Amino acid sequence: MCGIVGYAGENSAASVIIESLKKLEYRGYDSAGITVLGSGLDTYKSVGKIVNLEAVLPKGIGGNLGIGHTRWATHGRPSTENAHPHNSGNPCKISVVHNGIIENYMALKEKLTAEGYEFKSETDTEVIAHLLHKHIYEKPNGTEAKCELLTGLREALKEIEGSYALAILCADEPDKLVLARKDSPLVIGLGKGENFAASDVTAFLNSTRDVIFVDDFDTAILTPSSVEIFDREGNVKEKKIEKIEWDFEAAEKAGYEHFMLKEIHEQVSAIHNTLAGKVSELEGTIDLKELNMSEEEIRKLSRVQILACGTSWHAGLLGKYLFEQLAGIHCDIDICSEYRYRSPVMNDGTLAIAITQSGETADTLAAVREIMSYNCPTLAITNVVGSTITREANSVLYTIAGPEIGVAATKTFSTQLILLYLLAVKFALARGKLSPDYVKRFITAIRKVPGQIQQILNQKEAIKECAENFANSKSYFFLGRHLNYPIALEGALKLKEISYLHAEGFAAGELKHGPIALLEKGTPVITIATRGQTYDKVLSNIKEVKARDAIVIAVADNTDTEIGKYADIVLTVPRSDELLSPLLSVVVLQLLAYYTALARGCSIDKPRNLAKSVTVE
């Protein structure tokens, strides 16, 4: 997730903002920039680390108001042009930094271009700068006139769809910094003779611990000596001042003990961001603009080949079920490290999908290069704009998960699944396998997933208690059927990665074909038992496990009144469409792995022998 900062005070804005941006480096970024309001608006930007930005700043740069940004690319590759802040006017009148996603930016861009505004970047954010300029400096008849910055902002926000945390400067209002928020975090820091704004408190924690958390649809004005906050109707709003008690290390984790726990919680916003702009309930459509395939080409597909490693392979395995069950397309999935060595047989009509969190996984890149030698179109699903895979694949779909610091993948896995669901349903619709009415119901259901995940997070104490009870077990089993088989594999992998316990995931029906010999009295067996077409089969598997005196921990729907008769412990998820239940079950397993590792005193964010991105074969 990008980082934004703002400063209004008595000190050098450039110095304060640079130091604040450094405090946000842990969030990950690919470029950075700053605008300082002195005699005018002066903007400086660079690709790469903040040290590169410092190198282009003139010595003794003046100005006591400023805004800054560290960018994690979403719309447009990492470049100086795409870095924030973005400006409008000649000479520059408006400068903006932005976190979030403007869903209708293309429509706004086309409209503003037709009105004479010149765009210099590929970003969605630049439309905000020009839209602000239009509402502040232009009357409806086209003559120039200036209205107040805050008034112009409110008018501009009426046209914007999506999420935003904004910090804005106007050359003609040199005494104020203006803020706005919807769905992206924004916090104000209250100092003496100075005030701050940032995407989290880490940015200014060394200067003040007195903060105000900005609510959705609020706007605010900061000056060196005052802070005013307004609701969406423009009424002054009284806000409680809170004192931050975290130390610095805790602050960069937003108060969470580990990045992994923070990122498990961030799945709520990550899934929302990945869905943003891609689905329409009203029309029953799925819009994947980055997919360079026509509906005719989709209809001609005879096969999908998925290539992935580790957690991404588990996502791809679920994708295989989705493509075959929904779209009626034969789908193969390969572990990339093995793919090149089995002399694959390729045919016309194959689409290759490579899934890689980092976009730099060596085995995945090698597999993609291999399959491209057969002239197959390739689609990459990744979280990192500008990574190697994005330059080599024919099409790229981005998981808008933000940086993931913990080695064990959580939110990137969930957002990979989201894109696979959207692809499978889009392909099914294009091939006449699903009706628009079904797609409307699907979109309604998938939009509920972030809220349903929040419900699971709200009951994490029960999962923690379960984890602590079995933290000293020597072995775990994970069982799932059909769509839940990949989730059982992922649950076992998470436990292995961070708790160093032996854990195995199985298709539940395979238990009696050998693995059941390993069951001993007291062995914990995690069984995914959400309602669906294999529910009765899973109950039979539970009985088999119980007959060997193992302990059954069931992940089940919160409306299931029967499962408690068979399982020793029940961890619940909200009742959902069977198709989407894996998105909920996996959150329980992520939390179970986290709290098991915590109870065992393991290194959670940096487990032994593992790296976040495997860049060698």
Positions marked catalytic: 2, 612
* Number of alpha carbons in the 13 Å side-chain half-sphere of residue 405: 19
User: Which residues face 32 on adjacent strands?
Assistant: 46, 70
What is the chain's percent helix, strand, coil content, to nearest 5? 40, 20, 40
User: Which residues face 359 on adjacent strands?
Assistant: none
Q: Give me the sign of the Cα torsion angle 4, 2, 185, 124.
A: positive
Residue with tokens 């450039």: 14
Q: Which two tokens stand for residue 332?
A: 């193969």
CA distance 258 to 250: 8
Q: What DSSP letter does each residue of 561-582 carry, written as one string?
A: SSGGGT-SEEEEE----GGGHH
Residue with tokens 């989290």: 200
Cis (ω within 30 of 0) for the bond into 58? Answer: no
Close Cβ partners of 307 (under 8 Å, ≥ 6 residues apart): 316, 333, 334, 336, 339, 352, 353, 354, 355, 364, 367, 368, 371
**Amino acid, res. 253:** K
Q: How far is CA 152 from CA 93, 145, 217, 223, in A?
A: 13, 12, 15, 18
H-only helix segments in 328-447:
336-339, 362-372, 388-392, 411-430, 436-447
Q: How many residues does the chain have?
A: 617
